[in-house]
């Protein structure tokens, strides 16, 4: 196959077609007027060379691109080649020969005639270029100048090349071909020059290739020069360093660098628990210290890195020899909270001990408002396991380097927060509480989220790599506990790897117990007071909780008590008093005016007002829902910063009450002639959720039937269009809120009966619980003056249906006396 040239070729006109043997060249290209030496090993090419050498026959040398195949019947050959003769043949390695061939003139292949015993083809000679512009000499001078620069920069090129080119200056074509043959141009570039017949175009192309070669040679020369200079500088420094060493030796001065390096190496040998990677890195850095001056910045950076590297608790952990029974006792003593939560923690710790101190499950995440005991649980777990407790806040972090450290090449580089916390703890298996995840990575950069996940995820943290330390650290033994304020604040990437445990808010009685058991003893010790000097009753504590705080946790209460103790300590120091007792009268002098006014039950039953129970982030609360009717067009209006779910709940309640108009004794026309306004107090506070459905239904039934509602019952529950009462959450907090407000009768969904067991015994003793299956149960319970026109109508209708059925059966028996006699026989047999 012949590869046609893309150049415009001019052929000699001849009647006779010449046929020549063809020698494919793969390692070089032959130009007219030049000679090359090649090694020939293929059988057909050996036969061609030997025959042409014996007979002095001319042949064509053409470039055949290498296509990766060793054997091929007909190799692709470029159309433009060179008519050549053999000048010398010598034996080569094996059966090959080394032949020197000389190019005579350009020739173009026309057609392959035969392929055996070697390739022969018909060819036509090419006409030489006749166009010699005046400025061609300038171009030739520029070529010689470029060649001179190349030979000056490249020591592998001889100055003889320049002399050869100058000798052929009178023959431009020969000079261009000689230049292309002398320099290391690519085979494709040389073939392009061979196919270019026009001299100005050929010199322009040649100059382009030479400039490219010049840039490459200049780059290599610059690199070699820089390397030589660096080596010379290093030799000079080594020589000066050796002189300095000898001078110090003569002066009797200490070698601080060597002593420091020896100290670090000795420390490495003494730390048997170090991994091999750490030992190798520490020894490398210690050896560097010997070659650094104590006055250099790099010396300080290296020394600081070694201090961090060897200061970490590599494989330093406490044995997992705790007993689950003792852990349970410590958890019960140190943390006051739900039993279910403690059971789940005990289960996780049991699995951890079984696996030898390794965590394989999802990471524990505590969800609860501030002050609900998230840190207290972490401390209790650490104390139960006999491990150190570490708190790390990740709030406000928006860069990966804050978690994984900064590379040592940066100015002021340091490890990340996790590694710093581990060095402070001194062990590789502490209990680490990761706080403020809800304020972490506010910009929601996925790289930052994945960096924290790499820390807390037990699948990924066995080889945690800090950018500053540069050696993997095993975090699999660290017991990570994360904490957030609300479920919605958890980043999406963490949801699948977290086991969520919700910490409910404390009710009033629980707050009093926790305050007397944990907070007050801590404050007494902090301020140097005794129990005999300071008296605080349960009644005053309840007053502070209800009128000065409105929270689910104990953070605000703890701060208020701290404020009281500070004033007491000041009075003690100034010797104004020796004993202190807080009462309702002097409470304002310590805390100022109360912040909140707690809700209380109404004095008398009224139409259109009912006591609902709500659950907020601050705990349970009593919420009085009001309603009135007025002349209008049957519209419903609701106010009080209500959400969409609560508005839909009002619509469902209205539809159900309307469907029960006959039962409730309501004129059906009232729904079209009166507008209804439902109001939820505390309009500045947003409200949402379906749990007010039963309360709204009762209010609607009250104002439309004009019956008062009992004022001694509080209620909660979701209502369906069929009047069923569905379960709701926060029952414990809601019942406690009713108890706190002086309401000792609560109506809740029947399916929430299981939630009552979490209430304190004191509340259960005094509070009556009514369970609702349908809203009709609530109407019977709460609506006063409920006449028989209401629910007895259903009984009357049921009795009428029974009578009608009896009449029908008796008529059938009269019509069929046979069945009557059969019934009599059955009766007698019985």
Q: What is the distance, to the nearest Å, from the Cα of residue 314 to the centroid of all Cα atoms in its chain?
A: 26
Helix (H) or strand (E) holding 769: strand 768-772
Judge whether 131 and 198 are in contact, CB under 8 Å. Answer: yes
Q: How far is CA 59 from CA 55, 81, 460, 472, in A?
A: 11, 10, 70, 68
Judge whether 85 and 58 are in contact, CB under 8 Å. Answer: yes
Whether 691 sits among the annotated catalytic residues: the reply is yes
Judge whether 316 and 302 are in contact, CB under 8 Å. Answer: no
- Kindly report the number of other CB atoms within 10 A of residue 682's CB atom: 14
Q: Which residues of 123-158 are buried (b: 16+ CB within 10 A; e: fewer)?
A: bbebeebeeeeeeeeebbeebeebbeebbebbeebe
Phi, psi dihedral angles at 711 (to 5 degrees): -95, 0
The catalytic position among 691, 697, 705, 736 is 691
Q: Which residues of 588-620 are buried (b: 16+ CB within 10 A; e: fewer)?
A: eebbeeeeeebbebeeebebbbbbbbbbbebbb
**Considering only CA atoms, which of 543, 549, 557 is closest in space to residue 595?**
549
Q: What is the distance, to the nearest Å, from the Cα of residue 146 to the centroid of all Cα atoms in its chain?
A: 58
Phi, psi dihedral angles at 294 (to 5 degrees): -65, -20
Judge whether 700 and 627 are in contact, CB under 8 Å. Answer: yes
Whole-angstrom distance, CA of residue 462 vs CA of residue 402: 20
Whether 734 sits among the annotated catalytic residues: the reply is yes
- Kindly report the number of other CB atoms within 10 A of residue 564's CB atom: 19
**Considering only CA atoms, which of 106, 87, 81 is closest in space to residue 35?**
87
Q: Per the structure block, which two tokens stand in for 636?
A: 């419903």
The catalytic position among 173, 732, 734, 736 is 734
- Residue numbers annotated as active site: 691, 734
């Amino acid at each position: 196959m012949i590869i046609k040239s893309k150049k415009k070729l001019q052929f000699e006109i001849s009647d006779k077609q010449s046929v020549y043997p063809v020698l494919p060249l793969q390692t070089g290209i032959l130009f007219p007027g030049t000679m090359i030496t090649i090694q020939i090993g293929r059988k057909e090419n050996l036969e061609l060379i030997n025959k042409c050498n014996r007979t002095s026959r001319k042949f064509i040398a053409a470039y055949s691109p290498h296509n990766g195949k060793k054997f091929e019947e007909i190799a692709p050959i470029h159309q433009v080649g060179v008519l050549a003769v053999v000048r010398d043949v010598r034996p080569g390695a094996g059966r090959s020969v080394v032949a020197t061939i000389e190019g005579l003139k350009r020739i173009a292949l026309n057609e392959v005639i035969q392929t055996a015993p070697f390739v022969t083809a018909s060819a036509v000679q090419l006409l030489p270029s006749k166009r010699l512009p005046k400025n061609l000499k300038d171009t030739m001078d520029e070529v010689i100048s470029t060649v001179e620069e190349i030979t000056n920069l490249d020591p592998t090129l001889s100055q003889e090349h320049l002399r050869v080119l100058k000798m052929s200056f009178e023959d431009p074509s020969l000079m261009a071909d000689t230049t292309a043959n002398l320099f290391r141009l690519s085979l494709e570039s040389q073939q392009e020059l061979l196919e270019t017949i026009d001299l100005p175009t050929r010199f322009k192309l040649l100059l382009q290739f030479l400039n490219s070669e010049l840039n490459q040679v200049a780059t290599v020369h610059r690199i070699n020069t820089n390397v030589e200079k660096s080596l010379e500088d290093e030799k000079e420094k080594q020589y000066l360093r050796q002189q300095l060493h000898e001078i110090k030796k003569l002066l009797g001065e200490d070698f601080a660098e060597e002593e420091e390096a020896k100290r670090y190496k000795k420390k490495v040998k003494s730390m048997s628990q170090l991994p091999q990677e750490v030992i190798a890195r520490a020894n490398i850095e210690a050896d560097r210290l010997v070659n650094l001056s104590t006055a250099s910045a790099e010396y300080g950076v290296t020394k600081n890195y070694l201090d961090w590297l060897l200061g970490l608790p590599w494989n330093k952990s406490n044995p997992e020899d705790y007993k689950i029974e003792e852990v349970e006792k410590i958890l019960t003593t140190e943390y006051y909270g739900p039993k279910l939560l403690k059971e789940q923690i005990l289960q996780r710790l049991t699995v951890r001990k079984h696996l030898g101190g390794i965590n394989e499950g999802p990471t524990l995440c505590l969800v609860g408002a501030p002050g609900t005991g998230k840190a207290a649980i972490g401390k209790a777990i650490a104390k139960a396991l006999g491990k150190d407790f570490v708190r790390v806040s990740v709030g406000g972090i928006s860069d990966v380097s804050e978690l994984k450290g900064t590379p040592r090449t940066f100015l002021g580089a340091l490890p990340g927060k996790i590694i710093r916390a581990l060095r402070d703890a001194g062990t590789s298996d502490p209990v680490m509480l990761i706080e403020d995840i809800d304020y972490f990575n506010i910009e929601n950069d996925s790289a930052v989220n994945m960096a924290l996940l790499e820390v807390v995820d037990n699948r990924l943290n066995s080889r945690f790599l800090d950018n500053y330390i540069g050696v993997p650290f095993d975090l699999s033994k660290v017991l990570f506990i994360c904490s957030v304020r609300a479920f919605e604040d958890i980043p999406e990437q963490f949801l699948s790897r977290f086991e969520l445990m919700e910490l409910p808010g404390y009710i009033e009685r629980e707050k009093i117990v926790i305050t007397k058991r944990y907070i007050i003893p801590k404050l007494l010790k902090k301020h140097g007071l005794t129990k005999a000097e300071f008296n605080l009753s349960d009644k005053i504590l309840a007053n502070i909780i209800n009128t000065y705080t409105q929270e689910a946790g104990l953070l605000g209460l703890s701060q208020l008590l701290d404020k009281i103790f500070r004033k007491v300590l000041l009075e003690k120091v100034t010797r104004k008093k020796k004993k202190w007792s807080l009462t309702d009268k002097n409470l304002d002098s310590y805390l100022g005016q109360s912040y909140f006014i707690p809700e209380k039950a109404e004095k008398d039953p009224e139409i259109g007002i009912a006591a609902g129970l709500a659950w907020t982030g601050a705990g349970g609360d009593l919420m009085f829902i009001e309603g009135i009717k007025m002349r209008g067009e049957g519209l419903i209006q609701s106010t009080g910063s209500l959400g969409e779910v609560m508005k839909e709940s009002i619509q469902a309640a209205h539809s159900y009450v309307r469907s029960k108009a006959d039962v409730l004794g309501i004129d059906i026309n009232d729904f079209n002639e009166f507008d209804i306004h439902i109001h939820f107090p505390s309009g500045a506070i947003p409200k949402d959720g379906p749990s007010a459905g039963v309360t709204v239904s009762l209010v609607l039934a009250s104002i439309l039937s004009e019956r008062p509602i009992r004022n001694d019952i509080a209620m909660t529950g979701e209502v369906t269009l069929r009047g069923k009462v569905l379960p709701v959450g926060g029952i414990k907090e809601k019942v406690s809120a009713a108890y706190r407000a002086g309401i000792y009768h609560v109506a809740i969904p029947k399916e929430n009966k299981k939630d009552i067991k979490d209430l304190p015994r004191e509340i259960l003793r005094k509070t009556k619980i009514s369970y609702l299956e349908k809203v009709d149960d609530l109407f019977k319970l709460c609506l006063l003056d409920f006449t028989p026109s209401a629910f007895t109508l259903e009984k009357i209708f049921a009795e009428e249906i029974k009578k009608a059925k009896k009449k029908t059966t008796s008529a059938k028996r009269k019509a069929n006396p046979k069945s009557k006699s059969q019934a009599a026989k059955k009766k007698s047999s019985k």
